[in-house]
Amino acid sequence: MAKKPNKLKIIPLGGLGEVGKNITIFEYKDDIVIVDCGMSFPEDEMLGIDVVIPDITYLFKNKEKIRGIVLTHGHEDHIGGLPYVLKKLNVPIYGTKLTLGLVENKLKEHKLNNVKLNEVRAGDIIKLGCFKIEFIKTSHSIPDSVALAIDTPVGMVVHTGDFKIDYTPINGNLIDLHKFAEIGKKGVLALLADSTNVERPGYTMSEKTVGDTFNDIFLKAPQRIIVATFASNVHRIQQVIDAAEMFNRKVVLSGRSMINTTNVAKELGYLRVQESTIIDINDMDRYSSNQIVILTTGSQGEPMSALTRMAFSEHRKIELVPGDLVVISASPIPGNEKTVSGIINRLMEIGTKVIYESLADVHVSGHACQEELKLIHTLLNPKYFIPVHGEYRHLKRHEELAIELGMPKENIFLAKNGSVIEFTKNSANMGQSVQAGNILVDGLGVGDVGNIVLRDRKHLSEDGLIVVVVTISKQDGKVIAGPDIISRGFVYVRESEDLMEEARKVVRDVLTECEKRHITDWATLKSSMRNALRSFIYEKIKRNPMILPIIMEV
Amino acid sequence: MAKKPNKLKIIPLGGLGEVGKNITIFEYKDDIVIVDCGMSFPEDEMLGIDVVIPDITYLFKNKEKIRGIVLTHGHEDHIGGLPYVLKKLNVPIYGTKLTLGLVENKLKEHKLNNVKLNEVRAGDIIKLGCFKIEFIKTSHSIPDSVALAIDTPVGMVVHTGDFKIDYTPINGNLIDLHKFAEIGKKGVLALLADSTNVERPGYTMSEKTVGDTFNDIFLKAPQRIIVATFASNVHRIQQVIDAAEMFNRKVVLSGRSMINTTNVAKELGYLRVQESTIIDINDMDRYSSNQIVILTTGSQGEPMSALTRMAFSEHRKIELVPGDLVVISASPIPGNEKTVSGIINRLMEIGTKVIYESLADVHVSGHACQEELKLIHTLLNPKYFIPVHGEYRHLKRHEELAIELGMPKENIFLAKNGSVIEFTKNSANMGQSVQAGNILVDGLGVGDVGNIVLRDRKHLSEDGLIVVVVTISKQDGKVIAGPDIISRGFVYVRESEDLMEEARKVVRDVLTECEKRHITDWATLKSSMRNALRSFIYEKIKRNPMILPIIMEV
């Protein structure tokens, strides 16, 4: 019998069929390399959940194989899962300087001091087990982003990470298209590429265009300027600082993550800023309003963010006044449209002028549109293709784009989280899937909130709750106190006294009936109370509160 | 002392600072006319709420003055509040044929049989108290829409209703621009105009352009076509029917409101359709897949809608298969983006092709963009202006547009719901506001869910609930049963037994302590239990469940 050939397995554990939580496994014989380890924000139905991290059961089972985690850049959807995973797996991390700076900050917050962080530069090649990994400079909405060329025993695999092509990057660091061309020429077995913007035709504009708009805005603004953007968008922050210095304004930082990231970026040399440009928020009063720019978090209308507090006049140090100019330098992430719109309304009611994306070019995306993707596909000319980073609609559209470029449909793998795509030197196929999914983090609890708890939260959120308590006698099973009825999230109690009194009577009648029929087992008593109350309430006001019968015995 | 002149009061009770729930009051001496009476859908934070209607306390207080409700068109945000209001105020309704047809349907559902419905046609003038009201034909995404020219004792006031300008309407009914010009020439005291699309430059495309796209799509589709759109968009439905007839397809209706509206529109002569075109859903199997179009609700991804059920393979009669083509002929209403995207993903996973707005011109708006608004402002040339129908950002932008056209800022009123704008023949000013706001409808309850209930629902939804019960003795106040602890929406109970056992111990200790210190009043006992448990839980897992202590006495 012929020996089965060893195969390279590529296993996306997150980031497919979703936006966020990116993590991909590369496995060959006894070696595993993990690319990125992100988190995502909870979906609407994940009530009360703080963050979502990938299910890494598969990695636990194979932990002796893991050679390291390689990071493409420092966004939360690529590094946010690290603290949770590193509490259970102690493996070395590899990434560029700014990426590791942000990781270090994060690990400190989680009191993780034992993690080995290994700095690399674009152009470096590292060896992890049987894999040789080269870091390739790319453009993205955070500096120091890289793609990975992973030289495996069966061939070269390229993972783009998140990227776009910016011919005029504001830090002068061009995406290394020559390297992509060179690798493509040598031959690429498989490509994994960012699908976020694949539905958009054309090109993503250069970050530089935002700077031009800023200059126009700064030139004309008569009072304070407030710029809200992602704290991680160091290029954007640089452009605000540049405009501030050009127009003699001081920069005030607002929002914890804005202060943290700016400090890390400045320390590590990713921000060019004069000593006196950034001032303390408490020194703001020493300048006139046309000498101030406030750089703030909250571009997504996050409830506790600095911009939201300003808009609702709840910020302790900054009070917006008519004539101030707020620039929202970001697009609402899908799902945040209404919240952002609410903030814009509030800001306008205060009398501030608000500039946002649909009014001026104050934001560009960090992801490649169709023409950019075509360039990368063409330069690399891979044999196989796995679209990554996107909802199903994006992955599907990316498949179509590859087909338009001439790739056979059977060479493209529309995978799911947990899919295993197996490669030999000249073949690829979908193998048996492994466990993958969402682990929900709520407070300190990781994974202790699941479907039952969420279903209960949803039920409680829509209809509230009624608790019915009775005390019965141990001796004869007779009711000796209650039934008492307490409700929360159901009706205004004061205006519904009659309803609650009737409800109590309904339960009393059920209990009398049970007593008559000598029913004493608690399960039957409870379900009788629950059913009677449910029917009564639904008939009366067409609502379905959760009903919680409790029996005490004395 | 000079006699104070009588004033016309215009009071928007809904539709300002929000999208939906439109209702405006016109009052002069002893006469009140109400324009529209809409509902809106609940905001995200209104957990469990079905619909929102305007607070009409002011109308109750002045009910003997009310001469009638005049409707501009049949959309829910203009007629949806009627059933609730008409249960309390029995006043005559005036509207065009299709509008009344839809109202009648709605009143039947609410078992309201006593309402006087008075049909009018565009061009008619009716007299209600001191007001003479002329109905002016407009274009909108539902047929039979009208603007109102309200001749008041102090001058002419025009309310545009919702409108756009469509030079090639599919039913041939052009907006009556001549009438707007004529009225403008005579002189207009005040204009109230639709602000929904005021942020968009240029013109809204004609509904006809969608028909052209439909023809292209129908020409090429190899299998079934499923078109999802708003049930009220009779023009759109007409165009689907036209395309179906041109390409020899039968039309199947799916979704309760789609069936209802189509029936009403057909009966009243608003749909041109051959006898054999629309078939019963049960006869669908008698045709091949390229002979079928399914017209369905669910273009907003509503959870229980027909399209959602199809996408999740839960529709009892329709099973989508690869090769079917789904056309989502609508834009997501702000807030629905993610839900609609989720449906698109599901449909694509099934293997259906999905066409939506960003891929093809399968939808146009029903509201006027900037250039159309400029035309109406210019034709009417009003002295005063109240922007209506929109969030604050829209009203503000509409103010700017009027200023660009030469209107003095002081002649524009950026009003709120409840504002009173008072007019004489040659003056206008903001008066004392009246009560206005949201009344929440949950099941059969109207207004019995308010802030406290919503706050509790939110708390329950995020952190769940812990109930603590103890039974104490009447004689000596000693604990004789419990404490028992029950939780819902908090943690997986099975995996958190230790935590719950510890929690019970915490409460037991508190009760022992209270007993020692002879504390017997229930309020203190309850708050002691609550506080101890809250601190314990927060310290353990950083969560804040609602804690409900219950004391039984025997």
* Distance in Å, alpha carbon of B313 to nearest chain A alpha carbon: 17
> Does residue B256 lie within any of the structural domains?
yes
Compute the distance between CA of residue B381 and CA of residue A250 in angstroms, rounded to an integer. 46
Q: Which of A39-53, A156-170, A529-543 has the highest mean pLDDT?
A: A156-170
Q: Is A193 in the same domain as A215?
A: no
Compute the distance between CA of residue B235 and CA of residue B224 in angstroms, rounded to an integer. 22
Compute the distance between CA of residue A485 and CA of residue A467 in angstroms, rounded to an integer. 6
| B240: its two tokens | 């689907």
Q: Is A194 in the same domain as A126?
A: yes
B337 neighbourhood in chain A, CB within 8 Å: 334-335, 337
Place of tokens 């802030």: B451
Q: What is the pLDDT of residue A475?
A: 82
> Does residue B274 lie within any of the structural domains?
yes
Q: Is B36 in the same domain as B183?
A: yes
Those residues with Cβ within 8 angstroms of residue B423's Cβ, 6 or more apart along the chain or in another chain? B7, B8, B9, B10, B152, B154, B155, B157, B189, B190, B384
* Domain boundary, last residue among A374, A399, A432: A432
Q: Is A168 in the same domain as A308?
A: no
The CB density around residue A320, as the number of other CB atoms within 10 Å, is 22
* Buried/exposed code over A361-386 (b: 16+ C-beta within 10 A; e: otherwise): ebbbbbbbbbebbeebbebbbbbbbb
Interface size between A and B, measured as CB pairs under 8 A: 192
Of A349, A448, A459, the CB nearest to B495: A448
- Mean pLDDT along residues A497-523: 86
Domain range for A235 is 207-355
Compute the distance between CA of residue A424 and CA of residue B70 in angstroms, rounded to an integer. 74
What DSSP element (H or E) covers B151? Answer: strand B146-152
Within 13 Å, how many C-alpha atoms sit on residue A488's CB side? 23
* Domain boundary, last residue among B329, B355, B381: B355
Compute the distance between CA of residue A448 and CA of residue A450 in angstroms, rounded to an integer. 6
Query: Quick check: A445 and B484 CB within 8 A?
Result: no
Peptide bond into A483 cis (omega under 30): yes
| A494: its two tokens | 């004061």
Per-residue confidence band for A172, with pLDDT thresholds at 50, 70 and 90: confident
B354 neighbourhood in chain A, CB within 8 Å: 393
> Does residue B185 lie within any of the structural domains?
yes
pLDDT at A427 over 70: yes
B394 catalytic, yes or no? no
Q: Is A31 in the same domain as A174?
A: yes
For residue A336, the domain's CATH number is 3.40.50.10710
Compute the distance between CA of residue B426 and CA of residue B413 in angstroms, rounded to an integer. 15
A396 neighbourhood in chain B, CB within 8 Å: 348
The order of strands in the sheet holding B421-423 is B117-119, B93-95, B66-70, B31-35, B23-28, B8-14, B421-423, B428-430
Instruction: State how far Cα B285 lies from the chain centre.
Output: 36
> What single DSSP character describes residue A3?
P
E strands, A389-426, are 421-424
Compute the distance between CA of residue B544 and CA of residue B463 in angstroms, rounded to an integer. 6
Q: Is B79 in the same domain as B112?
A: yes
For residue A39, the domain's CATH number is 3.60.15.10
For residue B532, the domain's CATH number is 3.10.20.580
Judged on CB neighbours under 10 Å (0-12, 13-18, 19+), A521 is exposed
Q: Is A42 in the same domain as A138?
A: yes
- Mean pLDDT along residues A178-195: 97
B453 neighbourhood in chain A, CB within 8 Å: 464, 489-492
Those residues with Cβ within 8 angstroms of residue A306's Cβ, 6 or more apart along the chain or in another chain? A254, A255, A258, A296, A297, A298, A315, A318
Please state, for a pLDDT cut of 90, what percent of chain A lies above it.
78
Q: What is the pLDDT of residue B163?
A: 97
Compute the distance between CA of residue A450 and CA of residue A453 in angstroms, rounded to an integer. 6
Closest CA to B358 of B327, B334, B335, B336: B327
Q: Is A195 in the same domain as A69?
A: yes
Catalytic residue among A159, A235, A315, A367: A367
End-to-end CA distance of chain B: 74
> What single DSSP character describes residue B202?
S
Q: What is the pLDDT of residue B511?
A: 87
Query: Quick check: B460 and A464 CB within 8 A?
Result: yes
| Contact yes or no for B186/B383 (Cβ under 8 A) | no
Compute the distance between CA of residue B521 and CA of residue B525 in angstroms, rounded to an integer. 6
Q: Is A218 in the same domain as A197?
A: no
Q: How many residues does chain B have?
A: 554
Sequence letter at residue A379: L
| Contact yes or no for A336/A329 (Cβ under 8 A) | no
Within 13 Å, how many C-alpha atoms sit on residue B543's CB side? 29
How far, CA to CA in Å, does B476 sit from each of A476, A481, A500, B479, B515? 23, 16, 30, 9, 10
> Does residue A215 lie within any of the structural domains?
yes
> Does residue A440 lie within any of the structural domains?
no
Place of tokens 């039920």: A459
User: How many structural domains compose chain B?
Assistant: 3
Place of tokens 């609508």: B330
Q: Is B246 in the same domain as B343?
A: yes
Catalytic residue among B159, B235, B315, B367: B367
| A112: its two tokens | 């993780």
> Does residue B534 lie within any of the structural domains?
yes
| A246: its two tokens | 């050009």
* Distance in Å, alpha carbon of B411 to nearest chain A alpha carbon: 18
Closest CA to B460 of B547, B540, B551: B547
A367 catalytic, yes or no? yes
Q: Is B27 in the same domain as B124?
A: yes
Compute the distance between CA of residue A447 and CA of residue A314 in angstroms, rounded to an integer. 34
Q: B552 forms bridges with which residues in the sheet?
A: B471
Query: Quick check: A358 and B546 CB within 8 A?
Result: no
| B140: its two tokens | 């909108």
Compute the distance between CA of residue A309 and CA of residue A318 in angstroms, rounded to an integer. 9
Between β-strands B8-14 and B23-28, what pairing exists: parallel, antiparallel or unpaired? antiparallel
> Does residue B443 lie within any of the structural domains?
no
Q: A191 forms bridges with which residues in the sheet?
A: A158, A385
Catalytic residue among B36, B166, B194, B324: B194
CA angle, residues B121, B124, B130, in degrees to nearest 5: 130
Compute the distance between CA of residue A295 and CA of residue A243 in angstroms, rounded to an integer. 12
> Does residue A446 lie within any of the structural domains?
no
Interface pTM (ipTM) of the complex?
0.87
* Domain boundary, last residue among B355, B382, B412: B355
Of A338, A489, A543, the CB nearest to B334: A338
Tell me the backbone φ, ψ of residue B443, rounded to 5 degrees: 60, -130
Query: Quick check: A457 and B456 CB within 8 A?
Result: no
B344 neighbourhood in chain A, CB within 8 Å: 393
* Distance in Å, alpha carbon of A66 to nearest chain B alpha carbon: 29
Instruction: Please list the pLDDT of chain B residue by residue as tens digits (554 residues).
Output: 556 779 999 999 999 999 999 999 999 999 999 999 999 999 888 988 999 999 999 999 999 999 999 999 999 999 999 999 999 898 999 999 999 999 999 999 999 988 999 999 999 999 999 999 999 999 999 999 999 999 999 999 999 999 999 999 988 889 999 999 999 999 999 999 999 999 999 999 999 999 999 999 999 999 999 999 999 999 999 999 999 999 999 999 999 999 999 999 999 999 999 999 999 999 999 999 999 999 999 999 998 899 999 999 999 999 999 999 999 999 988 888 899 999 999 999 999 999 987 777 889 999 999 999 999 999 999 999 999 999 999 999 999 999 999 999 999 999 999 999 999 999 999 999 999 999 999 888 888 888 888 999 999 999 999 999 988 888 877 888 878 898 999 887 666 788 888 999 999 999 888 888 888 788 888 999 999 999 999 998 888 999 999 988 88
- Mean pLDDT along residues A390-416: 97
Q: Is A337 in the same domain as A458?
A: no
